[in-house]
Structure 1
Amino acid sequence: MASFPAPFSKLIEYVQSLHPEAGPLEHLMDAVITAQAQNDQSDALIGYFVDQARVSGASWSQIGAAMGVTKQAVQKRFTAGDELLPKGKAFSRFTPRARIAVAAAGRLAESAGDVMIDAPHLAAGTLADPEGLAARALRLLEIDFDQLYRELSIGPASAGDDPEPSTLLRFQYSSACREAFKDAFKAAIRLGHNYIGTEHLLIALVSGEGAVRQAFANLGIGVDLIQSAVTAEIANLVLKLKRVEGKYSGE
């Protein structure tokens, strides 16, 4: 069995290293902050494996039994799948750019006189922010955005400010769009993420059956290529971050 990743002695050393010359009270304040971060990570760790269990088909009763709590208790604490759809804590796991994408899709649908957001609207919405991972991945694949919009039979969406999650409740969503939300959650789990970004929405849309998948197929692009491009862009961003950290740490 592997050793626990953060032995108690290492946590003590870490807290003391934050401000080596500080006194006991300063160390105590650092310890409180560190403990809170550990608690947040613990919740995220358990939530990640709860999500994986749900994706594998486990029931809430089975998950509760595995955790030693009731079905009701575990459902109250972890409502990941429901939170992705417009009910309950709507869109709580969506990143700001993903929420912007949904709002942009809604405005695009309204401007076209459509009564609900459908998959093509959402696909266009994921590209509204040029710095979102969906748009970056497609640029990496040298996709002609104008040609893509023609294939989708829809115009480009315009990005706005990050909306409050509750404001997205005013939109109506097609069954294909709702299915894409669920599949985006699964795509995030496969990539080891506990959030929903534009990249997960795009992967879900191209994975599904319908107009978006066909539009990309007409351009010779399948979901495997998109997922590879997303992974490459994430790696590129991580590399840039490490370079910045190295620059300021003197490495």
Structure 2
Amino acid sequence: MFERFTDKARRAVVIAQEDARDRRDDEIRTEHLLMGLFGVPEAVAVTLLSGYGVDRAVVDAEIERMHRPDRPGTDAEKLAVLGIDLDEVRRQVDEAFGPGALDRTRAARARGGRPWSRHLPFHRAAKKAFELSLREALRLEHNHIGTEHILLGLLHTETGAAHHILAAHGVTLDGMRAAVADLGRGAASG
């Protein structure tokens, strides 16, 4: 399927992988794909999203809010109830054993070591978004998958966090389909 991706769409996927690594996530999820689109500022998807007032800063803030370690029910919150400050523990371990000491433990190695040095798999929702991107391109009779098709794939309800972020800002699948169709059939895209 990736052979159908335009250069801009491929670049967006590479940037999504970098975003997942930067956030120290263990998989590439749909929110990373959405951030990857913004990593290609001249991409059609970015232009379409800007029409809805959605930009990189908005999406980044939403992802940060979703991934915050202090959100209810996280390990950090559960430990805080016991009087354990996870950030303070990490700081003390780094101070005693050097920066990143916890990343060099047996448990960290069992998870694959440093997340920035290994292959990150795509989460099932991200794989589904790619499948839906292909379907959207075929529906439009396009023989390529551009950033606009990835965006359409992310707007389906089963694609997780990216769908929720976009829906919260009024971006809908039907509305975006109409916008992409207005770009013209088979026209060069990104």
Work out whether the TM-score is over 0.5: yes
> Aligned partners of 1:127, 1:193: CA distance in 2, in Å?
22
Q: How does 1:38-53 map to 2 (within 5 A)?
A: none
1:140 and 1:152 map into 2 onto residues whose CA distance is 20
Partner of 1:198: 147
Deviation digits for residues 61-101 of structure 1, max 9, x if unmatched? xxxxxxxxxxxxxxxxxxxxxxx2xxxxxx11111001000
Aligned position for 2:135: 186
Residue segments in structure 2 that go unaligned for 5+ positions in a row:
66-118
Are 2:38 and 1:127 aligned? yes
Please list every run of 5 or more consecutive structure 1 residues that lacks an aligned counterpart in the other structure. Answer: 1-83, 85-90, 155-169, 239-251
Aligned mate of 2:53, from 131, 134, 142: 142
Q: How does 1:26-175 map to 2 (within 5 A)?
A: 84=1, 91-153=2-64, 170-175=119-124
SS for the counterpart of 1:153 is helix
CA distance in 2, matches of 1:102, 1:184: 13
* Cα distance between partner residues in 2 of 1:111 and 1:150: 15
- Deviation, 1:207, is 1.1
SS for the counterpart of 2:144 is coil
- Over the matched positions of the two proteins, sequence identity in percent amounts to 33
Q: 1:177 aligns with which of 126, 131, 141?
A: 126
Deviation at 1:217, TM superposition (A): 1.6
* Deviation, structure 1 residue 208: 3.2
- RCO higher in 1 or 2 (8 Å CA, sep ≥ 6)? 2
Range with bigger deviation, 184-193 or 125-134: 125-134
Under a length normalisation based on structure 2, what TM-score does the superposition of the two structures give? 0.64
Sort the Cα spacing of 1:104 and 1:94 in 2 relative to 1 into closer, same or farther, 3 A.
Answer: same
* Aligned residue identity for 1:224: D
Partner of 1:249: none
Question: For 1:150 and 1:183, how far apart are their aligned partners in 2?
Answer: 26
The Cα of 1:113 is off from its aligned counterpart by 0.9
Count of residue pairs brought into register by the alignment: 135
Amino acid corresponding to residue 150 of structure 1 in structure 2 = A
Structure 1 residue runs of 4+, over 4 Å off? Answer: none
Q: After TM superposition, give the deviation of residue 144 of structure 1 in Å.
A: 4.3
Counterpart check, 1:219 vs 2:130: no
Which structure has the greater CA radius of gyration? 1
Q: Equivalents in 2 of 1:102, 1:193: separation in Å?
A: 19
Instruction: Give RMSD over aligned pairs.
Output: 2.5
Residue number in structure 2 paired with 1:158: none
CA distance in 2, matches of 1:213, 1:226: 12
2-side partners of 1:143 and 1:113: how far apart?
A: 24
What per-residue deviation string (whole Å, max 9, x for no partner) do you get for residues 193-245 of structure 1?
0111111111111113221111112112211122222233x24x96xxxxxxx
